[in-house]
Amino acid sequence: MPAHPGYSLVGREKEMANLRAQLTSGGAVALSALNGLPGVGKTALALALAYDPTALEHFTGGMLWAGLGRKPDVDSLLNQWAAAMGADLSRERSTEARARRLALALQERTEGRPVLLVVDDAWAWEHACPFREITLPGCAYLLTTRDAEVARKFAGQVSSVNVLTDKQAVELLAERCPEAEQADPEGLRELAGAVGGLPLALTLMAAELKAKAGQARWVRAAIDRLRAVKARLAMEETMPRPGLEDVPNTLRAIVEISVEALEPEGQAAFAALAAFAPKPADFGREAALAVWDMPEDSGDTMLQRLTGKGLLEISGEDRLHLHQVLSAVATVRLDKDTEPRQRQAGYYLLHQVLSAVTAVWLGKDIGPRQRHAGYYLDFVNTNPEDWQRIESELDQVRQGWNWTSAEAPGAEAQVLAYVSALGVFFERRGLWQDSLAWNERGLTAARVLGQQKNEAALLNNIGRVYDNLGEKERAMDYYGRALPLSRAVGDRAGEAATLNNIGQVYDALGEKERALDYFGQSLPLFRAVGDRAGEAVTLFNIAMIFESQEQDAKAVALLEQVVAIDEAIKHPDLESARAALERIRSKMSE
């Protein structure tokens, strides 16, 4: 057996209880993460079971452990087991024959007492298969693997090992480095969340923090350093891994060996997953196929391959998510793959950003992140009014926006498209700070592209945000800047919207006559451009002022026009018109 690591497991009580029950009943069990997630603690759990007092008391015939790894020498491992029992396998010509001879020696040695055979870190069925030839009464098997198919073949069932909860992750760090919890409890919680409860990452993190535990400021400095993804991926494990002697023991390398076991197409598909927001966000099957630019058949095959290898997790029917640590590794790979193309694209756009050619170029596919951003932009534009549908994918929509607005080379046109698509959603949900940030970024894009019409619209939008935040003076400043621009470019619809918004500010400030003046200017413009919704909203605003001035008959006449328009266009902003009409009519009849 490998040496005991010297610390207890945290948050594995249920898994340990299940394993005890399965193994001490004499059955066989395959232990694997749900999708073979690297670093989830399969080996640690197997080792904890091997040193568990209940297991030691039950398996009186003894325990044997074989660490396989990627390229194991199975014959040597069988010989080691034989040597431990004083048996000689040299006369057997095949691996299977050695395994069967070993089974006889084991049965003779144990005299019917229960035995536990642990086969750790199996990467392929042909490596694990010979150990299943060792069959004898009272013998139990424990397999750990990153491959769910290997687990099922070996034992017919898979016991899933999941990541730790946020609470358990913090408990693990605090237990192994209490000084860190004392020095910076909030920082400790942040680190636990950053690695998504992955036990290997938490163990390495705790070791690094413990090494700095001499002074509180040293611990805080270590926590600050580990906030960086690059530093977390570089964390090293001190315990050697059987079969992986040639692999650096960093967190990144331990994950990478699973990726490198894939064919080139699979490695590229894994790297492309970096385009998605990681857990706790998830994404749909169709989105994955769009980012990979794969047809359904080959795309589904790739999904099955990645989930089976533990590099992608299933979160629901046709829903998937990518663990935070795997996302970080995928990002390193994708950035390395796309860096030359990004430099080339940036050089081209430096000279072409204001030309008509740029708009055509931006429509071209430059990689997974561009496809991701385009997919979710199209998703929103399918129905910008359906806020519930958009909210279900909001994490990925934000991911597409973040890349488009901050990293995509020369994607100013797509920035404007995102701002336009999400405007209704932000207003319906009252997400004014998001709306402000997006519109301000859009304003920069419009100016880069020299689009004064869009510039005016965005100034107007920003004014509306400040208006809704109660900052009337700032709202008026932006409206005042938008109005002359709309007029200069002949945008009568934009001019009408801005005039209407100015009127609403004056109305809120109690300056009713000035409000009526601006509403009066906007009304014929809305009618001229055929904007019936804008016309109805303006009529409603005027009607409310008339009601406040006790001119109920005028208010009713206008509200009747609003209701008639609403019957034709069914606009959500006009739903309150009927209630207002009934209220005023009731008041007039009293």
Model confidence at 2, in pLDDT bands (50, 70, 90)? confident
Q: Is the peptide bond before 280 cis (omega within 30 degrees of 0)?
A: yes
Supply the pLDDT for residue 361: 37
Report the amino acid identity of residue 146.
R
Element housing 40 (H / E): none
Which of 65-79, 246-260, 350-364, 531-545 bottoms out in mean pLDDT, i.e. has the lowest? 350-364
Strand segments, DSSP code E, in 171-312 are 283-284
Strand segments, DSSP code E, in 182-267 are none
Supply the pLDDT for residue 349: 37
Using only the alpha carbons of the chain, give its radius of gyration: 33
Phi, psi torsion values for 530, nearest 5 degrees: 75, 25
Supply the pLDDT for residue 36: 56
- 283: pLDDT strictly greater than 90: yes
- 556: pLDDT strictly greater than 70: yes
Which phi-psi region, left, alpha or beta, contains residue 92 (left: φ > 0; alpha: ψ -120 to 50)? beta
In the structure encoding, which two tokens stand for residue 143, read together?
Answer: 């397999």
Task: Write out the DSSP string of 179-206.
Answer: HHHHH-HHHHHHHHHHTTT-HHHHHHHH
Supply the pLDDT for residue 354: 33
Which of 244-253, 316-325, 436-445 bottoms out in mean pLDDT, i.e. has the lowest? 244-253
Which residues lie below 8 Å from residue 350, measured CB to CB, with a gap of 6+? none
C-alpha span between 552 and 585 (Å, rounded): 8
In the structure encoding, which two tokens stand for residue 234, read together?
Answer: 């570089």
Supply the pLDDT for residue 471: 96
Contact 244/146 with Cβ under 8 angstroms? Answer: no
In the structure encoding, which two tokens stand for residue 299, read together?
Answer: 């795309």
Per-residue model confidence as pLDDT tens digits over 394-410: 999 999 999 999 876 67
Report the amino acid identity of residue 453.
K
Which residues lie below 8 Å from residue 487, measured CB to CB, with a gap of 6+? 495
C-alpha span between 170 and 34 (Å, rounded): 22
Per-residue model confidence as pLDDT tens digits over 444-479: 999 999 999 999 999 999 999 999 999 999 999 999
Contact 354/449 with Cβ under 8 angstroms? Answer: yes
CA distances to 49, 322, 427, 528 from 562, in Å:
73, 50, 22, 17
C-alpha span between 279 and 282 (Å, rounded): 6
Supply the pLDDT for residue 393: 97
Supply the pLDDT for residue 158: 77
β partners of residue 169: none
Supply the pLDDT for residue 584: 92
DSSP symbol at 19:
H
- Work out the average pLDDT over 315-333: 94
Per-residue model confidence as pLDDT tens digits over 339-368: 444 434 443 333 333 333 333 334 444 699
Task: Write out the DSSP string of 360-372.
Answer: HHHTS--SHHHHH
Contact 316/282 with Cβ under 8 angstroms? Answer: yes
C-alpha span between 567 and 159 (Å, rounded): 59
Contact 196/323 with Cβ under 8 angstroms? Answer: yes
- Work out the average pLDDT over 207-216: 88
- Work out the average pLDDT over 178-206: 91
The CATH class given to the 13-161 domain equals alpha beta
**Residue in 327, 265, 337, 259 with CA at minimum distance from that of residue 301:** 265
Within 13 Å and on the Cβ side, how many CA atoms surround 398? 13
C-alpha span between 251 and 34 (Å, rounded): 20
- 420: pLDDT strictly greater than 90: yes
DSSP symbol at 355:
S
Contact 43/121 with Cβ under 8 angstroms? Answer: yes
Per-residue model confidence as pLDDT tens digits over 297-314: 999 999 999 998 889 999
In the structure encoding, which two tokens stand for residue 472, read together?
Answer: 């009337």
C-alpha span between 5 and 575 (Å, rounded): 66
- Find how far residue 512's CA is from the centre of its chain: 49
- Work out the average pLDDT over 384-403: 95
**Residue in 466, 465, 524, 532 with CA at minimum distance from that of residue 495:** 524
- Work out the average pLDDT over 362-389: 87
- Work out the average pLDDT over 89-106: 89
Supply the pLDDT for residue 445: 95
C-alpha span between 72 and 70 (Å, rounded): 6
| Global confidence as pTM | 0.81
C-alpha span between 457 and 498 (Å, rounded): 8
- 30: pLDDT strictly greater than 60: no
How do 115-122 and 139-145 pair as beta strands?
parallel
Per-residue model confidence as pLDDT tens digits over 484-508: 999 999 999 999 999 999 999 999 9
- The residue behind tokens 């008026």 is 476
- Work out the average pLDDT over 514-526: 96
C-alpha span between 504 and 102 (Å, rounded): 88
Supply the pLDDT for residue 39: 85
Strand segments, DSSP code E, in 134-183 are 139-145, 159-161
How do 319-321 and 283-284 pair as beta strands?
antiparallel
The larger pLDDT score, comparing residue 483 to residue 16, is at 483
Supply the pLDDT for residue 137: 81
